[in-house]
Amino acid sequence: QAHGTETLYYHTSKKGKALAGAVQKHIVKALGLRDRGIKSRQAEDRGGYLLRYTQAPCVIVEPGFLSNDYDFEILNERKAQYCQALVAAATEYARDFGLV
């Protein structure tokens, strides 16, 4: 059964890849689910159109699988930690790129 966290980015976006890496690191740490890694997508792939045609660096976060009872339970129990992880990832990304 599918289990874990993954983050998608557009395959030619260096900033998207950097953001995906920060997001993945912080969410895996916060949730403790299996690290499925960051995954590149092209325009024709699932989620690829959004990733390709958004001007700002863009990622799609898949923190867990709702079809997996364990993932679902963790996501319900750790909502605050998940939100804090997103903020930490955005802050790290902004600092790394001199935005703050």
Q: Specify if 44 maps to a domain.
A: yes
Q: Specify if 82 maps to a domain.
A: yes
Contact call for residues 35 and 5 (beta carbons, < 8 A): yes
Q: Specify if 51 maps to a domain.
A: yes
Q: Domain containing 24: what range? A: 5-95
Q: What is the mean pLDDT of residues 31-60?
A: 97
Nearest Cα residue to 3 out of 60, 88, 84, 73: 73
Query: How many independent structural domains does the chain possess?
Result: 1
Q: Read off the pLDDT band of 100 (50, 70, 90).
A: confident
pTM: predicted TM-score of the whole model, two decimal places: 0.94
Q: Specify if 100 maps to a domain.
A: no
The more confidently predicted of residues 1 and 69 is: 69
Q: What is the mean pLDDT of residues 47-67?
A: 96
